[in-house]
Structure formats: structure tokens, C-alpha cells
């Protein structure tokens, strides 16, 4: 039986492996660490690592979000992004003209996966993020 996730479940450091598979072109890979850090009642999410693209030198990459107790996720600039389903499952985000759909899978907790499918006039890819809690 799967347990609904709560915000505190994510706090701490996680290994993050990401594969970005475009409909056309070579895949990309990201390897790094995602960290959820307490900020008042919320968790500040940050990830940092290395992005590997075919034919290019590896580059440093990072991003930041804010997660709230209701598992609402906000961009670093305060705009709402999406809500993480506590039991896992589907969520979406519309960023005109692009559609972002995500599926969260918590069945292997404390490992979990978030798979994004992105479609738009200039974007078409699947991005699979695998998180594994650091020891």
C-alpha cells in the first residue's frame, strides 16, 4: 500500500539523474543533487549538477523552486507551477504556448520518479527525473 507523501518527506538531499529525450535529436543527461531545505513552513528546492549534451562540453546547470505544505510548487520568481499529487499521479502546467504534463511515481519510496512530457511549437521531449535519497 502506498503512503501519501507530505512535505517533510522530501526534506534533505537527493541524488538526481535526469534524461531528456527529444522527439528529434540526441538525448541529454543531467547528473546532480536536489536539496529541499526548510524555509519557514515551506521547503526551498534547489538542484545543481552537470548537463551533458551531445557535441558540447559538459556545463553546470541549476534551478530553484519553492514547495509549500499542500505540495504546491512555485517558480523561483513566485509564479505558481503545479501541485504534486500526494499519492503520486498526474499534474500539468500550461506555459503559453507549451504544455507540460508530469507523472509522479512514489511507489519505490524513498526513490521516486517525475516524468515530464513537454509539447509546444518548438518543444517536444520527455524528461525523466529519478530521485534517490542520499545516505
Residue 135: the pLDDT is: 75
- Mean local confidence (pLDDT), 79-91: 98
pTM over 0.85: yes
CA separation for the pair 58, 135 (Å, rounded): 26
pLDDT tens track for 59-72: 999 999 999 999 99
Q: Which domains does the chain show, CATH number per domain?
A: 12-133 (2.40.128.20)
pLDDT at position 1 is 55
Contacts 24+ apart (CB under 8 A), 130-133: 130/16, 130/17, 130/18, 131/14, 131/15, 131/16, 131/34, 132/14, 132/15, 132/17, 133/12, 133/13, 133/14, 133/15
pLDDT, mean of residues 98-111:
97
Amino acid at each position: 500500500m502506498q503512503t501519501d507523501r507530505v512535505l517533510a518527506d522530501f526534506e534533505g538531499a537527493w541524488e538526481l539523474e535526469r534524461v531528456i529525450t527529444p522527439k528529434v535529436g540526441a538525448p541529454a543527461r543531467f547528473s546532480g543533487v536536489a536539496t529541499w531545505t526548510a524555509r519557514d513552513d515551506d521547503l526551498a528546492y534547489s538542484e545543481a549538477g552537470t548537463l551533458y549534451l551531445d557535441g558540447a562540453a559538459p556545463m553546470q546547470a541549476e534551478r530553484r523552486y519553492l514547495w509549500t505544505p499542500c505540495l504546491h510548487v512555485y517558480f523561483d520568481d513566485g509564479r505558481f507551477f503545479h501541485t504534486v499529487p500526494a499519492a503520486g499521479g498526474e499534474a500539468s502546467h500550461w506555459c503559453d504556448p507549451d504544455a507540460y504534463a508530469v507523472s509522479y511515481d512514489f511507489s519505490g519510496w524513498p526513490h521516486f520518479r517525475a516524468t515530464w512530457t513537454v509539447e509546444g511549437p518548438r518543444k517536444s521531449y520527455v524528461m525523466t527525473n529519478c530521485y534517490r535519497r542520499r545516505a
